[in-house]
Structures are given as structure tokens and as C-alpha cells.
């Protein structure tokens, strides 16, 4: 089986490497020569645990190759996967599909025989149909089947999620071409079906909407528990016990009920916005999701106010240690990270920030305001600080001994926005400690 993966970004690299690991021949194509050169030199442009090894092993065995030349990659290809970016379009929040359509057109031009074109990027409902129109217009002489196979992987867990997914969703066009696409994808994912992974076979539109509905639901769960956490603080309840007591109901489920400073990343903010826009366009508004978005946006700003309040109403001239900048641990991704809202507000209020993140600092420096000091480690960030804020729940922050933190800091304020510490232990160490939704 020969596969072409267009896009050496997150989804493209992870899926490409995993398909190669399944034993298929995978050619990853990206228009950016610098990215391809880096991959040839063995450098992975993203931080994802285990990916460097997986790429290196499969590249060494010749199953995974990289290039910029789509024509060359198409030689003998059975299926082409589109894993190009779909950023939010500036202004209206719709997904920008120019990369998807351009890639579909290039694939059609370069195709030598009947192929299956599979969209892995998260795309608005109806995109698969548009892709079909493009390939039919460009190559009326060829039978190009179109499929939608959304990806549900999480950053930091991407390989595990790909290799052991909860389900595989495959949407295809009607008729014999769709049948062919479905059969081919079944063969591609055969190693997963041997592990009895469920497959959801649907139409193109259903597969496209399934991806958005899944992300929107998860985002809603997070905004839900964040509001419950706020109420817990007011009434003296413990949000972790509430989440457990609620989540053990099998109809609800325990996952994604961890309170925090609001969700970020490359998917939830963008996808919730995109599906809410689509729904408005069809005059079938998703008011629950619109509210979820509003709650999350407001929450990030509230987190800065919370820190200011913990510092006695003003942070002017105060040194604040910030642990964690990425939107979650095990990634260097800063997209829509709460730190991008919280830190500028604190800087504006006159705070002196000493920030540390194990892997995201290079990206953070490009996106955060000037004047922030970057520390060499968590304890270095805490050195002489009046207050400490935890923004990302890296394990190395959890492991910090309270006494060492206490000795490093000048002040006693800790705002733990990820609930990584034990409140009692922190109070016993002499901190004025506050976490989210715990008494």
C-alpha cells in the first residue's frame, strides 16, 4: 500500500509516521522546503513525545520518505491524505480552506490513475463535496473517490491516540466510488480493526460534522466544570469530588472535567468557532457552543484578575513567577494558550514576570509582550518572587518540594490555576495558597 500525506504539520507527521509503522509506504509532502530539509536532517519541527523515534525508525527502514515534489510522490499512490492547515479566517471565524482546495487541485492534476483522496484536516461540513467538485472539474477523465477521515488525536498523546483510538470515522461519497474508498480505508486501518476498534462508516457530511461535534462537546464539558468550580469556591464545595461524583455516572464520563484557566490549543477554540459559524449560516444556531466560547474567552481574562486580587489588589512592581506557558503539558504549542491573555494583562498592570516552561519558551518569546524575564527552571522562576502562578500542569511542577519553593520565593502567594498541589501541604509550608474550585 502506498500513501501520500500532504502536509508535514501535526496531523500529517503523526499520521504519516503511524501509517508507516503499520507497514505501509508513506510519502509525506510539504510545500515548505525548510521543513522537508529539517526532516531529512532528522529534526522534527514539532514537539511530540515519541515522534522523533518513530519517524527515525520508519525513515531508516525506508517506509517513510519526505519531499516537496507532489508529482514524484504520486507515482503508484493508492490514497492521498490531506493534512494541511485550516486556520480561522481573519474577521469572520470561518475556517480558511484555501490550502485544502489548492492541495486537492494539485492532487487531481498530478494523479496518474484512479485514487482515493482522503481529508484528514478538520474541515467545515460540505468541504468534501467541494473537494469532489474540484477534482471532477480538473480531471473529468479520472475516477477520484473522495473520503473524510477526521483525526481525533491530542497533542502530547498523539501516537497513543492514533495507535489506540476510541473509534475510526470514515465518511465517503455515494455510489461505487464511495464503496471503493471505504474498502481501501478499511484495509489501511486493518491493524486497528484487529484490535476491535469500532469503525463508523458514514456519508461525507456526517463524518465532517462528527469531528466538530466531538470537539464542541469536549469544550462544553470543560466550560461546564469551570463554572461549577467557580460555584464550588462560593459555596465551599470541592470541584474534584463533584467531578468524580458526576463523572462516575457512565452517561457522563469522568474525562474532561478538570477545571483550569480555560481551554486553548489548535483545535477547541478554532473548531468551536467554526461550527458555531456554520450553524448560524444554516440558521440553526448552536447556542450551547456559542456560550461555551464566551465562557472560555472571559475565563482567561478573569484569571489575570484573580492573580491581581490574590496579590492584594495590585501587582504593580511585584515579581510574579509563572510556571507553564503552553496550552497544556507535553507540548510547545502556544496557540490560544491562557498565558497569551493572562501575562499581557499582568504586564499591563505593572507586574514583573519571571516565566518558565520546559519546552514552550522559544515559541512564547515570539508571542508574549517584551519585558518578560525567562527563567532556566521552575525554582529559578520562583527566586525572589512575590507570587507564583501555575498555568500549565507539567509533572515537574507537581514534583517541586513546597519547602524549596518557599525558600526561593520572597512572598507567600500561590495561585494554582491547574490544581497541581495539595492545598493542605501548601498551607503547612506557609503559603497563602489558592487553587480552582477547592475550599
Give the residues lining the site for ligand UDX (CB under 6 A).
151-155, 215, 218, 222, 256-258, 260, 263-268, 327-328
Residue nearest ligand UDX by beta-carbon distance: 267
Instruction: Give the closest residue to 59 by CA, choosing from 36, 31, 78, 79.
Output: 36
User: What are the C-alpha distances in Å from 132 to residues 98, 116, 370?
Assistant: 15, 11, 47
Min CB(327)–ligand UDX separation in Å: 4
User: Which residue number, 22 or 152, has a Cβ lying nearer to ligand UDX?
Assistant: 152
Min CB(140)–ligand UDX separation in Å: 35
Q: Contact 200/400 with Cβ under 8 angstroms? A: no
Q: Contact 344/369 with Cβ under 8 angstroms? A: yes
Torsional class of 11: left (φ above 0), alpha (ψ -120 to 50), beta (otherwise): alpha
Task: Report the 3 state secondary structure along 202-265.
Answer: EEHHHHHHHHHHHHHHHHHHHHHHHHHHHHHHHHCCCHHHHHHHHHCCCCCCCCCCCCCCCCCC
Query: Is 232 one of the annotated active-site residues of the chain?
Result: no
User: Which residue number, 26 or 229, has a Cβ lying nearer to ligand UDX?
Assistant: 229
Q: What does DSSP assign to residue 323?
A: E
Min CB(167)–ligand UDX separation in Å: 11
Catalytic residue, candidates 18, 232, 267, 311: 267
For residue 428, the tally of other CB atoms under 10 A from its CB is: 12
User: Which residue number, 155 or 332, has a Cβ lying nearer to ligand UDX?
Assistant: 155
User: Which residue number, 165 or 178, has a Cβ lying nearer to ligand UDX?
Assistant: 165
Q: Contact 220/151 with Cβ under 8 angstroms? A: no
Min CB(332)–ligand UDX separation in Å: 12
Min CB(319)–ligand UDX separation in Å: 26
DSSP states along 100-162: HHHHHHHHHHH--S-EEEEE-S---TTHHHHHHHHHHHH-TTS-EEEEE----PPTTSHHHHH
Q: Contact 355/279 with Cβ under 8 angstroms? A: no
Min CB(225)–ligand UDX separation in Å: 7
Min CB(267)–ligand UDX separation in Å: 3
Q: Contact 9/84 with Cβ under 8 angstroms? A: yes
Q: How many residues does the chain have?
A: 439
Instruction: Give the closest residue to 121 by CA, choosing from 160, 171, 84, 153.
Output: 84
Q: Is the dihedral of CA 310, 315, 319, 324 positive or negative?
A: positive
Catalytic positions, written as ranges: 267
Amino acid at each position: 500500500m502506498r500513501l501520500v500525506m500532504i502536509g508535514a504539520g501535526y496531523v500529517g507527521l503523526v499520521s504519516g509516521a503511524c501509517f508507516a509503522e503499520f507497514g505501509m509506504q508513506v510519502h509525506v509532502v510539504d510545500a515548505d522546503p525548510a521543513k522537508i530539509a529539517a526532516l531529512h536532517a532528522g529534526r522534527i519541527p514539532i514537539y511530540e513525545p515519541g515522534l522523533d523515534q518513530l519517524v527515525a525508525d520508519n525513515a531508516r527502514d525506508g517506509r517513510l520518505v519526505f519531499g516537496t515534489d507532489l508529482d514524484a510522490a504520486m507515482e503508484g499512490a493508492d490514497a492521498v491524505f490531506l493534512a494541511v492547515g485550516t486556520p480561522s479566517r481573519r474577521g469572520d471565524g470561518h475556517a480558511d480552506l484555501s490550502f485544502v482546495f489548492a492541495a486537492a487541485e494539485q492532487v487531481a492534476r498530478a494523479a496518474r490513475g484512479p485514487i482515493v483522496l482522503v481529508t484528514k484536516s478538520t474541515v467545515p461540513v460540505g468541504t468534501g463535496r467541494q473537494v469532489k467538485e474540484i477534482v471532477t472539474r480538473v480531471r473529468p477523465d479520472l475516477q477520484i473517490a473522495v473520503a473524510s477521515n477526521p483525526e481525533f488525536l491530542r497533542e502530547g498523546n498523539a501516537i497513543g491516540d492514533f495507535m489506540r483510538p476510541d473509534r475510526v470515522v470514515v465518511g465517503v461519497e455515494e455510489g461505487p466510488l464511495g464503496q471503493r474508498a471505504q474498502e481501501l480505508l478499511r484495509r489501511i486501518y486493518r491493524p486497528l480493526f484487529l484490535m476491535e476498534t469500532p469503525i463508523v462508516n458514514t456519508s461525507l457530511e456526517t463524518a465532517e460534522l462528527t469531528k466538530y461535534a466531538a470537539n464542541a462537546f469536549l469544550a462544553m464539558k470543560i466550560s461546564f466544570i469551570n463554572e461549577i468550580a467557580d460555584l464550588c469556591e462560593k459555596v465551599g464545595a470541592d470541584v474534584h469530588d463533584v467531578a468524580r461524583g458526576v463523572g462516575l455516572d457512565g452517561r457522563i464520563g469522568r474525562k474532561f472535567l478538570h477545571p483550569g484557566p480555560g481551554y486553548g490549543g489548535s483545535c477547541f477554540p478554532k473548531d468551536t468557532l467554526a461550527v458555531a459559524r456554520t450553524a448560524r449560516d444554516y440558521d440553526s444556531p448552536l447556542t450551547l457552543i456559542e456560550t461555551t466560547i464566551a465562557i472560555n474567552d472571559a475565563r482567561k481574562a478573569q484569571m489575570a484578575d484573580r492573580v491581581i486580587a490574590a496579590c492584594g489588589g495590585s501587582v504593580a512592581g511585584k515579581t510574579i513567577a509563572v510556571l507553564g506557558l503552553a496550552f497544556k503539558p507535553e507540548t510547545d504549542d502556544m496557540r490560544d494558550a491562557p498565558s497569551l491573555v493572562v501575562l499581557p494583562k499582568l504586564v499591563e498592570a505593572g507586574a514583573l514576570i519571571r516565566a518558565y516552561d520546559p519546552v514552550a519558551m522559544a515559541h512564547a518569546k515570539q508571542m508574549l509582550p517584551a519585558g518578560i524575564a525567562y527563567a532556566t527552571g521552575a525554582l529559578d522562576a520562583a527566586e525572589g518572587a512575590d507570587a507564583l502562578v501555575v498555568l500549565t500542569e507539567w509533572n515537574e511542577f507537581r514534583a517541586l518540594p513546597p519547602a524549596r519553593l518557599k525558600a526561593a520565593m520572597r512572598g507567600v502567594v500561590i495561585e494554582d490555576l491547574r490544581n497541581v498541589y495539595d492545598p493542605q501541604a501548601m498551607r503547612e509550608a506557609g503559603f497563602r495558597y489558592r487553587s480552582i474550585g477547592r475550599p
